[in-house]
Amino acid sequence: MSEFKRKSTDGEIEISQPDFTGMVTLRADLANSETIINIERIIGLKLPEKRKLIGDLSHGMAWMSPDELLVFCADPAAMAAQLNAGLSGAFLVADVSHARAVFLLQGDGVREVLAKGAPVDLSPEVFLPDDFRRTRMGQVAVAFWMSGQSPDSFGLICFASVQEFMFDWLVTASKKGSLPHYL
Amino acid sequence: MLLLTCPYCGVTAEETEFHGGGEAHIKRFAGGSDDAEFTGYLFEKKNPRGVVFERWRHVYGCGKWFHAARCSATLEIFGTYSAQTVKPSEAVISVIQARRPDWQVKP
Ligand SMILES: [Zn+2]
């Protein structure tokens, strides 16, 4: 994988990519109480609520569907091994760190940039801290979330194979003077 | 523009976040069926004007298949419900009966 990380600072928002984000997909029945106990024990965090992110990119979990979580961690190989050893029943663990790309979006126009491409209400009263939403950005399947308490700070993930396109799309959507300043 | 609510993740979004999967609650004829049955299964869809039951997938969201009942003439959505069923839910049937008193449940 290329170590080149994209960065743009001359638009309405700052767009950057973190050096590395460990990401492990976990598929399991998230309604099963034994599975929940095991996941919370191994990860050391509470299971996120529906469409929520708990923790952050260095240590966190995102709710992807009723039977899927995305685990963020520093060491995905160790995390995958721990999950494989500690879970029982039907489940699947996969290290997807190099199959996903992460973008960090920062600036007071970030909601308007995202709203250009996603059928999602991004007003601050509706899209709340730690909301994690899978949707599309233009034609690209993505998930984005509001990081912590700042309404101007978002993260976004997409498939690594389309990250170049996603970056160009975000740069174009955040060109200076292109935002309505409505949200 | 259809506004659909995914019963699995609870998201309400316009139809471009979803993908239509055609008529719902049809019986699959495959191995062991005769040509007429297979042709019927594959090509002969009801497509009525009015109440329709369809399969949809939350393709850009949680990825799950689900069912939707809507009106093909007005685009009104009567409801969405689980994919793990072979017939419309009682809840969605009563919504349809309230909104379309002339509509009959067909076997
Ligand atoms: Zn969904």
- Domain CATH number, residue A50: 3.30.70.1520
Count of domains forming chain A: 2
Taking an 8 Å cut-off on Cβ atoms, the answer to whether B10 and A119 are in contact is no
Give dist(CA A72, CA B91) in Å, integer: 39
Shortest CA gap B63–chain A (Å) = 7
Residue A142: closest CA among chain B residues belongs to which residue?
B60
Q: Which domain holds residue A84?
A: 22-95
Taking an 8 Å cut-off on Cβ atoms, the answer to whether B13 and A50 are in contact is no
- Residue after which a domain boundary falls, among A64, A95, A126: A95
Query: What's the whole-number mean pLDDT along residues B53-67?
Result: 98
Taking an 8 Å cut-off on Cβ atoms, the answer to whether B62 and A135 are in contact is no
| pLDDT confidence tier of residue B107, bands split at 50, 70 and 90 | low
Size of interface A-B (CB pairs under 8 A): 36
Question: Is A160 found in the same domain as A113?
Answer: yes
Q: Do A64 and B62 meet the contact criterion of CB atoms below 8 Å apart?
A: yes
For position A3, what pLDDT does the model report? Answer: 60
CATH number, domain of A136, equals 3.30.1360.120
Q: Do A76 and A28 meet the contact criterion of CB atoms below 8 Å apart?
A: no
Query: What's the whole-number mean pLDDT along residues B19-39?
Result: 93
Question: Is A83 found in the same domain as A57?
Answer: yes
ipTM (interface predicted TM): 0.91
Burial class (CB in 10 A: 0-12, 13-18, 19+), A108: middle
Taking an 8 Å cut-off on Cβ atoms, the answer to whether B9 and A65 are in contact is yes
Residue A136: closest CA among chain B residues belongs to which residue?
B60
Question: Is A168 found in the same domain as A103?
Answer: yes
- Residue after which a domain boundary falls, among A95, A115, A136: A95
Task: Report pLDDT digits (tens) over A140-150.
Answer: 999 999 987 78
Question: Is A88 found in the same domain as A34?
Answer: yes
Bridge partners for B55 per DSSP: B67
Facing B17 at nearest CB: one of A51, A65, A135 = A135
Local mean pLDDT, 10-residue blocks, chain A (183 residues): 80 96 98 97 97 96 98 98 97 97 96 97 94 97 90 95 97 96 86
CATH of B3-99, one of 3.20.20.140, 3.30.2270.10, 3.40.630.30, 3.90.740.10: 3.30.2270.10
Tell whether A69 is covered by a domain: yes
pTM value is 0.93
Q: CA A134, A138, A140, A144 torsion: positive or negative?
A: negative
Shortest CA gap B27–chain A (Å) = 27
Q: Give A136's contacts in chain B (Cβ within 8 Å).
A: 16-17, 60
- Residue after which a domain boundary falls, among A40, A65, A95: A95
